[in-house]
Every structure is written in C-alpha cells, then in structure tokens.
Structure 1
Amino acid sequence: MPSVVVDRKKRQRTATEYIVPKKKRTTEPRSGKTSQAPEPTPRSIIELEQQISSSTEYYNNLVYLIEYLNSSDSQIALLAATSLFRSFARMLAAGLLNKPIPSSVALAQETVTSWLRDRYKDFKSKLIFLLNDKNAENAFTSLTILVRLVKEESNYLAPTKGEYYFPKALVRRILYALLNQSDDELLLEFVEKYVNKYDDLRYYFLHFSGLLANDAQTNLSDAQKTNFTANLLSALYAIENFPTEDEHLNEFWVELSKKSKQPVTKLSAQKAAFQDSWLAVLRLPLTVDQYKYILQIMHNKIVPYMSKPQTLMDFLTDSYDAGGSTSLLALNALFSLMQKFNLDYPNFYMKLYALLDRNVMHVKYRSRFFRLLDLFLSSTHLPALLVASFIKRLSRLAISAPPSAIVIVIPFIYNLLKRHNSCNVLLQRTNWIDEEIAKEFDRSDPFIANESDPMKSRALDSSLWELATLQSHYHPNVATLAKIMSEPFHKPAYNIEDFMDHSYNTMLDAEFTKNIRNPPAVEFELPKTLFESGNEGEQAYLEGWDLF
C-alpha cells in the first residue's frame, strides 16, 4: 500500500524517489512491480496505463509516466501525457483525488489519496512547463489536456457535491504561462478555440488577465513587461463575439445548473471583467504603435463593452491633448463619450481647430479625421463664426495641400456652406477688400490665421479667395472641382466618402484609364541624333543646328 513520500526538499527528484514504499512480502513480487522504469515505448506506456486502472498496486506507474514527459521523443511524451490524463480522469471520477477528511477515512487510505494528489500536482506542473516546449505539437497537446482538466476538476473536485466549482487556480497558472511566452501563437490558439466560444472561459480569462497585468507592474522586469504587454494585447484584440445581452450567455465550458447565479451568467460581470483587463493594460508601458492602435479601435471595440466607459475619460483627454496624429486617433472615442454620457471637454472645438494644420493633409489618418470633422460640424446650431473659421482655415490649407487632399476639402467646404447658409457670405463677398480692415491689420485679408480661438479669427469678415485660386490649379481635376464654387448652389450635398481614399496612385490610374475623344498628336518617328550631322536623310531633334 502506498505511503507518503517523506523527502520534500526542493531538488530534482528521480523516478525511484517517487516510488511509494511497500510493506515487506513473503513472496516474490509479480513481474512489472519493480522500482525500475521500463523502457519507454508506445506499447509499454499503454501497459502501464492499463495496470494503473486494474489495481491500486500499480499506482507507482504514475511516476514512470510522469518521467516520460521529459522524453526528447515527442511521440513518447505525447503518449505519456495522454495516458496520464486518462488515468487521472478516472481517478477524479472515482473520487480518489478528493481531499480526504481524516475522521472519515482510514489512515492508509488518507495516505494513498495524499500521494495521488501530489502526483496529480506533478502532472499539472509538467504540463504547464510543456506549454513552453519548442515542439509545437507538445505545447498544443499540453494546452488541450490542461483545459480538459479544468472541466474534470470542476465536475469532481467541488467542495460540496452538486455545487458549482471552477478551478480558478489552475486557470490562472495556465494564463500566466501563456502570457509570459516569447510568442503569442499558443495564446491566440487558446483565445480562438476556447475564450471566443465559452462564456465562462472568457470571463475568467479577462478577470485573471487584469490581475496578472497589475502584478506585472512590480513582479516583472522591463523586458518581461514588454513581452507580457504585447501578448495580452494580441489576445484582447482577438476576442470576438462579445455578448450584448444576458440571453447571449449560454455556452459554458464548466456545467452550470439552470438556476445558477454565478458571475459568468451576468453581462454586467462580463463587462466589468473586460473593463478591468483593459484598464490594467493601459497602465502598462505601451509602445507608440500599440498606443495608437488602441486609440484607433477604442470607439468600436473597447468602449461599447465596458461597464463604465467614463473611466477612460482621463486617458482620452491626455491623448487628445498630446497633439499630432495621437489627437486625431483619440477624437472618435472622446466624442463618443461626450455624446453618449454627456461628458464635457472644455474648449473641444478650439482644440479641434488647432488640429487643422499642414500635417493633417498628409497623415495616413486623413480620411478618418475628415469623417469625424464632418460629424462634429454637422449640427446646424453651431455659431456661424465657428463654422466660418473652419471653412476659412481649410481653404487656406488647401492652397499648399496635395491634389488628393484638395479633392476632399472642396466638397467638404461645399457641404458646410450648404448646411450653414449664414456662411455663404464668404462666397458672395466679391469686393471683400476692406480698406479700414486692411489699414488696421496691415494686410488685405481680415482673417487672423494664427488665432487659436475660432470665435476670434474674423473669418466671417473674409472671403474664400483661396478657392478661386484653386480654379487655376495645375491638376485638371482640382481646377474643375473648384469651379463649383462659382456656380449656383443647386447641386445636392456631396457624398464625402467618394473623395476620401484618393491618392497620387488613384489619380494617375484615373488618367491612364480615361477615354480620350481626340488623341493628341505625337512624334512617331524618333530622330536618331540631337543635332544635324550633315548626312543626307538623317533626322535630328534640333533641325538647323549642327556641331562644329
């Protein structure tokens, strides 16, 4: 009968040290009960497993199988892991791994159970270690077995029979190992196969990832934190099908009773876990690219699934105040919070006005910015002074902007003028040079270009002479588009989306594919020389000239 292993020093133990001492026998032990591990082969592994299930006298075979997990032969390690899983699953189902109550069982049985529980812990530790195995098959198999053990433990290790039990400690160990790996391949496999499919696994993943992220602040080195952050962000990006109603929470890895009121069954708890995880990530050191990508997806992949999105207000305000492309990316989520939760950002339009500089015409987020700007200026209740300042500054920027940006600005201004009729004076003022203003400001245009407050720029006293200038632009598409400002405003508003994604490449492609009614005259006989050489019949580029 097995007894407790006495030696508990923290050192590498051999297979024979795991062997449970046996009582002395008067007869010879049967074949297979030796303390020496048999040669690891697929057949011997199956035989060891069968012996374990046949009699308690063969429980020592667990030690051999655990040792085989260290084998350099991938096939042996995988077979040993699978056999151990089946063996321990049978023991769990039989109640052999339940924590013994000393007063209710014999001392010998308590000793056996304690020894089996120790071997089960060894097995789980080996599987956790194998998650980092260079052999991908070993790592994926270990992950699969560990997740299966989560289900088995929940079914058979509950403190009270029939009570809901989720093995949180095991899940936390799995997540810690996955989040600290050098790459995210196995972690993304876990998210795709389990987190995105099972509501309880998603909840505990979010719950523990937030706790582990908080611990990472103090327990990990800078390099480890960088790796941890990258892995966790990859996992959070990969989460899909987040529920929006309590009724959507109906798929669980661990079985629930119909009347269970566990947090995993409540949308509010799921959102709270999601929020805690993201807030913990935002406290970690982020690279510039990570920071910008989070801002880019925040309005549609983060804010809608948080229990209290208002907690992001400080983060978004700081991002909006940072300037440059960071401010552009923070706009969407910030405006969503202001609109949905009636939050206030002082001088929002003043800051928005400050973002209108030459750089905005060249950044890769230009289309995104103009979509948002169109949204922010859509209200007909905005002051005419404010709207006129935006129109005037856009017109001024268009003069030095690339053609791909100008073709956005002109329809954009046209729509603003259609929407805000009080600004049409900017077009109607043909004799816009005011001598008094020119004398006062020592210039002919009253618009104060360097004024930070759009309400004080005097744009409404000016004119859109910049658009008249664009009617003579070198690019024919720009010149033609600018001429709409000289025509009556009978056309409906433009669909800005039709102009958003233009670039030099798209404009060149349009020219190359354009149907030409009258082909231009071209030189089809190529001259052979630049100057005349005197040879009869020889054609030169410059006739009448020769070299001496």
Structure 2
Amino acid sequence: DFLSSRKNANNLVDIIQCLEKSIGDQNASPIIPCILALETIFTELLKNHSMVIEVEPLKPKEICPETQYREWLQDNYGEAYQLILKCLCVEKTSESIQALATAMNLLTFEGRYPIDYVTDSAYYFPCSKLRSILQCLLSAEKTNDYLISRFQEFTTYHDVLHYSWKFLPGLTPRGQIPSEIYVDNYLNLINAMPIKGVDEEQITLLCDNSDKVKLAFDYQAIRKNINKSWVCVMHWQHTEATHQKVLMVLLERVLPHLDKPLALTDFLMDSLDAGGAISLLAFQGVFTLIQEQNLTYPFIYEKLYSMFEPEIFHTKFKSRLFYLADLFLSSTHLPEALVAAFVKRLARLTLVAPPQDIVICLYFIGNLIIRHPGLKRLICHPNGGQVTRDPFIMDESDPTKSNAIDSSLWEIAALQNHGIPSIATAAKFISNPLPTIEWDLTQVVGVTEDDLFDQAIKKSSKAAFLTLDRPTSMFLPKGDRTQEFWKLF
C-alpha cells in the first residue's frame, strides 16, 4: 500500500513502530514480517532514487514539499535501519539471521543507488552501514557464531572484505579489558574472513556499478590491518578457551601474514607450559617458526616427549601431535636412544589408551622401527640377558636418560591377546618380518570408537555359541552355579 500511493505514507511509520514494539516485547507480533516489509519498501525506494535530494553546487537547497517528503523518507530509513541492527541481538536465531540478511541487502542497494551525491567516476560504498553491522557482530554480551558464519558468505565480495578488514582494528575496545564473549566473537570474525590477494579480473563487488570505477583491492593494505588487529589480540588477557582459540586462528589463518612472526616467540613459549591442548597448539607454532623463521629451540625433543601423556588421547588435537612427532622423528640420523624413548613411551601408553588410539600408536611405533633398524633389539635381543624388571624409566623427562634402549616391547606382545581383533592383529607386527614401506597413519588417525564397533558388528560369526561349556549329558553338570539361585521344575 505504501509503494502504491503517497496517501499511505503513514503506513511506513506504523511498520516501524510495530517493529520497535516487537523488539521490546517478546509476546508482540513476529519480527520477521516487519523486517521483510521494510526491506521491500526501502529497496524499492533506493532503486527508484526516491530518497535522493538534488543539490546544485553553489545554490541553497530548495525547500519544497517534495524535498521535505524525501527528507522524511531519509529519516525513517535511518530509524528503520537502526531497528534492524537491534534485531541482530535478539535471542531467536532465525530472526537475527534475517535481520543480518536484510541489513546487508539494504547496504547493497544503497551502494548501487546512493542517497547522497556521488560523482559519476567515484566508487561508492556505504561504510557507516557496514561498520554498524560489524559492531553488532562483535557483541560483548552474546556469542554470534551463527551470525558470523552467515556474514562470511558476504566476504566473498571483495568490497565487503576490504572494508571489513579496514574497520576491524578500530573496533577493539580502548582503555578497557574486553569480555570473553567479545574476544570469542572477534576471533571468529578474523577466522571467517579470507586473507589473500586477487587479480583485478577476478574482483567481485557487492555494490557493483559497471558505470563507475572499480574498487582497488589491495592485499598489502589487508595485511597491514591484520597486523594491527593481531597486536590488539596479543595484548588482551585470555581465558583457557580464548587462549586455545587464539592459537588455532594464529596457526590456521594469521601466521603467514604477520610482518614479524618471531615476535610471537615469548607468547608461544609461555603457552608451551600451559599444558593440554594449548601446549600442543603452541608446539605447532614453535615448529612453524623453526621451519620457516630459523628459530632455535634447544629442548624441542624433550618438550615433544613430555606431551605424550594419557590426557592427549582425550583432546581433539591428538592428530596434530602425531603429525608433528612424525615430522620431528623423520630423520634417520637421530640417536637411537632418543627414538627408542619415543617408541617405548608410546608402547607404554597403549596399555591405557582408547582402542582407536592404540592402533595409531602401534603403526607409529612400527614406522619408527622401520626408519631405525637398530631398534629391532627392542623386539628381539638374543644377547640382552635377563632382567627382574623393566629398565625403562617412564617418569624421566630426558628421553636419552630413560634407559629405553635396554628395554623391550613387552607391552605390544601383551596386546596380541587384546579382545578387539583389529588391535590384536596390528600388534602382531613384532612377530612378523617388518615391511619395507611405512604404514600410512592418515588411514587410522581419523578412526573413531564407533568405527571399530561398526567393523566388529559387520563381521559374520561362523558359529553361534549357545552355552559356555559344552554339555556332556542331558542333565546339568554338578557344581553348576545356576543351581544356587534358580530352581527348575
């Protein structure tokens, strides 16, 4: 009705008031119909330039009913947009996601059909609108994982990506400690936005107007803003959860784009002592600096050795540990006493590890023995003599002093009698000639306990066992325990 005739202009005010009431009162009318109605109205007004006020240079603005009407539309547009941004903070996921989609759609139309005067040759982007959206995403009171995930779809457009990175350093709180929720949202937003250069021919714009100059997408400018943002992140106080997320985002997204990656050394060294998943992620960061920045860390093998604890099997980053250990122990020139300590520690851990992780340890042990044939003495050492106890010292922090080279892999021999067939079969490698090609750990790293269960139930049994003891007569055997508790008539 509003678009059909100006006589219905007050309908716009009614819709805005209805939306405002719905935001404040959960029992009021639904939010989404109001948002969609406002989106339909203002996209049409923007497309038809119905809110543009013509201004001639060096001439005062003409005051006439048409100008006043357009000013009134602009005021209502600004008020409606602020209410839509408030909808980003509502609890209902579907409503907040629709509010984000509407806000970005209005931003798109305003970029293509500007309200304010813009020269024909200039590229226009409604920066204030995008900045307001980013401020809502970086809430200090509400985790916005799903909203940031939806916003990620818009960052495929290079104008949105360019200005998002431009605004991000300036959206950090000044002079105060950010909340854990804010830090989590900030890291999620960094993790969601792409970081890469692009050829001019491949640039895609959300606010695309073929009649105007294209946006100059500059990777170096983005990299500069990444470094500014990350400096802020490093100065914040972190909880265990945000500390872990900082390391994940650093390793997976940010590290290759930092100007001075060696400045992270102190942070990573402190993180190594935190224990658990944080230590493991920090260790991967140290490894990257050693590999790419020639960082020197003299006790790297001792630190890697200390990470093989039973707790590591209960973290989602255990595959990273085996990957890093495989890289560090790939050289055939390492001392056998050092590698033997890793072999023996892994063998000892198989006694307490979950079933799916036992297979990983067994294959990794086999690969280490293939690389270092001298370690076969741990399997068969005819001249080794007899010992009354295992000489291996599990609590020794220095792997070269653990006496692992004088021990044996009795743990793996014990696993040959494991109740799970796949584990018992994997443990039999010490009783057979070793292969010349290493086992592919990627085939077993992703195996879960459910996978082992599914494999077991798919196997068909050749015989169905009905009794524990084979019957020798028609009567119950004497001394049967069931006779003590059951009476047969």
What is the TM-score with the length of structure 2 in the denominator?
A: 0.75
1:26-425 alignment to 2 at 5 Å? 42-43=1-2, 46-48=4-6, 65=12, 69-72=16-19, 79=37, 82-83=40-41, 86-87=44-45, 96=54, 104-106=58-60, 120=74, 123-133=77-87, 140-153=101-114, 157-158=117-118, 162-180=121-139, 182=142, 184=144, 187-188=147-148, 191-196=151-156, 198-212=157-171, 214-215=172-173, 218=176, 225-239=179-193, 242-246=195-199, 249-255=202-208, 264-277=216-229, 280-281=232-233, 283-284=235-236, 288-293=240-245, 295-296=247-248, 298-304=250-256, 309-310=261-262, 312-425=264-377
Tell me how far 1:419 sits from its aligned partner. Answer: 0.8
Give, as a single letter, the amino acid of the residue that structure 2 aligns with 1:69.
Answer: I
The alpha-carbon distance between structure 1 residues 292 and 370, as it changes in their structure 2 partners (threshold 3 A), is: same
Asked whether the equivalents of residues 46 and 83 of structure 1 are also in contact (C-alpha less than 8 Å), the reply is no
Q: Which of the two has higher C-alpha Rg?
A: 1
Asked whether the equivalents of residues 367 and 439 of structure 2 are also in contact (C-alpha less than 8 Å), the reply is yes
The correspondence for 2:394, drawn from 449, 458, 473, is: 449
- Aligned alpha-carbon RMSD (Å): 4.6
The alpha-carbon distance between structure 1 residues 317 and 420, as it changes in their structure 2 partners (threshold 3 A), is: same
1:373 is paired with a residue whose SS is: helix
Q: Deviations over 1:92-139 (max 9, x none)?
A: 89662x6x86xx1137579x9899679736632431232223666666
Tell me how far 1:150 sits from its aligned partner. Answer: 3.5
The alpha-carbon distance between structure 1 residues 68 and 464, as it changes in their structure 2 partners (threshold 3 A), is: closer
Tell me how far 1:409 sits from its aligned partner. Answer: 1.9
Asked whether the equivalents of residues 112 and 209 of structure 2 are also in contact (C-alpha less than 8 Å), the reply is no
Tell me how far 1:482 sits from its aligned partner. Answer: 2.8
Give, as a single letter, the amino acid of the residue that structure 2 aligns with 1:270.
Answer: I
Give, as a single letter, the amino acid of the residue that structure 2 aligns with 1:462.
Answer: S
Tell me how far 1:521 sits from its aligned partner. Answer: 6.0
Asked whether the equivalents of residues 210 and 281 of structure 1 are also in contact (C-alpha less than 8 Å), the reply is no
Question: How much identity, in percent, do the aligned residues show?
Answer: 30
Distance 1:530 1:296 in 2: 64
Asked whether the equivalents of residues 226 and 285 of structure 1 are also in contact (C-alpha less than 8 Å), the reply is no
Distance 1:245 1:85 in 2: 30
Residues matched between the structures, number: 465
Distance 1:509 1:190 in 2: 36
1:69 is paired with a residue whose SS is: helix
Asked whether the equivalents of residues 154 and 160 of structure 2 are also in contact (C-alpha less than 8 Å), the reply is yes
Q: Name stretches of at least 5 consecutive residues in structure 1 with no aligned partner.
A: 1-41, 51-60, 533-538
Distance 2:293 2:444 in 1: 32
Q: Deviations over 1:458-484 (max 9, x none)?
A: 333433343344445555544443332
Deviates most, 343-352 or 264-273: 264-273
2:17 is paired with a residue whose SS is: coil
The alpha-carbon distance between structure 1 residues 400 and 182, as it changes in their structure 2 partners (threshold 3 A), is: closer
1:124 is paired with a residue whose SS is: helix
Tell me how far 1:410 sits from its aligned partner. Answer: 2.0
Deviates most, 186-195 or 380-389: 186-195
Asked whether the equivalents of residues 379 and 408 of structure 2 are also in contact (C-alpha less than 8 Å), the reply is yes
Higher relative contact order (CA 8 A, sep 6+): 2
The correspondence for 1:512, drawn from 448, 457, 462, is: 457
The alpha-carbon distance between structure 1 residues 408 and 170, as it changes in their structure 2 partners (threshold 3 A), is: closer
